[in-house]
Amino acid sequence: MYEFYVSRPKVRGFTLIELLVVISILGVLVALLLPAVQAAREAARRMQCVNNLKQLGLAMQMYEGSQKRLPPGYVSHSRFSPAPADRDPTSWDASPGWGWGAHLLDYIEASNLSNALDRAEPFWATKHTSLIRTSIPTFICPSSSGALEPFVIADEAGSPLALGSSQIEVARSHYVANHGQESCWGDCGGSASQVVFADIYSQAKQTITHDRDVSLIADGPFYRNSKTRLQEVTDGLSNTIFLGEHSSFLSEKTWVGVAPGAFTHPLFSSPENGPDTAATLVLVHAGPSGGEEDVNGLPIIHPLNFPTYHVGQMFSEHPGGGNVGLGDGSTRFVTNDVDLIIWAEYSSIAEEEPSREL
């Protein structure tokens, strides 16, 4: 008898176990790879962020080269007599308000925009409405997870500031200029004198009669109507912070300027942060301010990323720290655990400190 066998090709699929093993291996590989990919992406973003800071530092140098002084923190005809109609009674901020960023436009390849601005007029004048909404890539740090689109300048209550006929919408900046340790911020107009630290080492205090001239209070390179010359930075350009980061995840900053009566609001809350006065739209300070001491009598210094999250401090979303631009045009990555006194030293232009590494 002859038996006829038809040989069927053996079709064998994957078993469930095999599939699960393969999926598990893939899962492990992805889990291993993902942090590396994220780190590489953040490294690229950070590089771009540093590059912008370098560009702004170079622009500062070029501005100083042509004007023989650094750009003003912001311009305000506060002390004109008679008083400008738009002068804020508390801060004494007034028109035209243009900030340090607006003064650098010619040096960061934004000459067309610069030429279109009338700096004798307030930036909130109707003729500037569309111009001040222009987003400039040099002022945007890709590591910032906050909003990128223009924002409406707010008053103390958080409502749109009423200046002129309509609300003021401005483009963002993720970079801020350094006002120093001492500031009078919103109290500049409220009182003609202020208690400040004579120096950060002894914590000795002194009363300064400034009569609303911020130059007599501020010890950093940029403040209202500042005209700092490089020779005045006696601590040395490589020992002084000019610029730093401030992510829009914490609060809204602009390259445009400071509107009288405006307030900057934190976008998340800590027990200590809250709205701060208009100057913080373009400037930050390191504290201690106004001779402030903490509950145990120590000076309050808030370096970059300090977890009080004031809108008037530097804030970066890079893991572990953030970048600052020094007066010599170089940049430095500063870690979150930076020595507080060294930070305060680098914030002033003339603390006469020994040169220590930031």
Partner 1 sequence: MPKPKQRAARRLLIVLLVLPGCGAYDKVGLLAYEQVKSLYTVCNQKNAEQLERAAEKIAEAHEVGKLSSQEVEWLEAIIADARSGQWKVAATKCRRLMEAQVEH
Determine, following the binding rule CB under 8 A, whether residue 294 of this chain makes contact with partner 1: yes
Segment lying near partner 1 (by CB under 8 A), choices 81-89, 117-125, 267-275, 276-284: 267-275
Query: Which tokens is 302 given?
Result: 């808030």
Pattern of binders to partner 1 over 145-164, x per CB under 8 A? xxxx----------------
**103 vs 50: CA distance, rounded Å:** 20
Q: Is 154 helix (H, G, I), strand (E, B) or coil?
A: strand
Query: Looking at 132, 243, 340, 349, which residue binds partner 1 (CB under 8 A)?
Result: 340
Determine, following the binding rule CB under 8 A, whether residue 39 of this chain makes contact with partner 1: no
CB of 352 to partner 1, least distance (A): 20
Q: Is 245 helix (H, G, I), strand (E, B) or coil?
A: strand
φ/ψ of 243, rounded to 5, equals: -130, 160
Query: Looking at 111, 130, 193, 269, which residue binds partner 1 (CB under 8 A)?
Result: 269
Q: Which is nearer to partner 1, 232 or 339 (CB)?
A: 339
Query: Which tokens is 139 given?
Result: 């002022």
Q: CB of 213 within 8 A of CB of 150? A: no
Determine, following the binding rule CB under 8 A, whether residue 358 of this chain makes contact with partner 1: no
Q: CB of 306 within 8 A of CB of 285? A: no
Measured from the Cβ of residue 21, the count of other Cβ atoms closer than 10 Å reads 12
Query: Looking at 38, 135, 193, 215, which residue binds partner 1 (CB under 8 A)?
Result: 38
Determine, following the binding rule CB under 8 A, whether residue 335 of this chain makes contact with partner 1: no
Q: Which is nearer to partner 1, 228 or 247 (CB)?
A: 247
> 321 forms bridges with which residues in the sheet?
335
Determine, following the binding rule CB under 8 A, whether residue 268 of this chain makes contact with partner 1: yes
Inter-CA distances, 333 with 296, 326, 353, Å: 30, 11, 21
Segment lying near partner 1 (by CB under 8 A), choices 70-78, 184-192, 213-221, 306-314: 306-314
Pattern of binders to partner 1 over 84-103, x per CB under 8 A? --------------------
Determine, following the binding rule CB under 8 A, whether residue 317 of this chain makes contact with partner 1: yes
CB of 268 to partner 1, least distance (A): 5
Nearest to 341 by CA among 350, 351, 331: 351
Determine, following the binding rule CB under 8 A, whether residue 307 of this chain makes contact with partner 1: yes
Determine, following the binding rule CB under 8 A, whether residue 314 of this chain makes contact with partner 1: no
Q: CB of 102 within 8 A of CB of 257? A: yes
Determine, following the binding rule CB under 8 A, whether residue 135 of this chain makes contact with partner 1: no
CB of 218 to partner 1, least distance (A): 23
Q: How many chain residues interact with partner 1 (CB under 8 A)?
A: 27
Determine, following the binding rule CB under 8 A, whether residue 139 of this chain makes contact with partner 1: no
Determine, following the binding rule CB under 8 A, whether residue 202 of this chain makes contact with partner 1: no
**Terminal-to-terminal C-alpha distance of the chain:** 97
The DSSP letter of residue 176 is E
**66 vs 345: CA distance, rounded Å:** 28
Whole-number CA gyration radius for the chain: 26
Query: Looking at 63, 100, 175, 309, which residue binds partner 1 (CB under 8 A)?
Result: 309
Q: What is the DSSP string of 295-330?
A: TTS-B----TT-TT--TTS-B--STTEEEEEETTS-
> Site residues (CB under 8 A) for partner 1?
38, 145-148, 249, 268-272, 294-296, 298-301, 307-309, 317, 336-337, 339-341
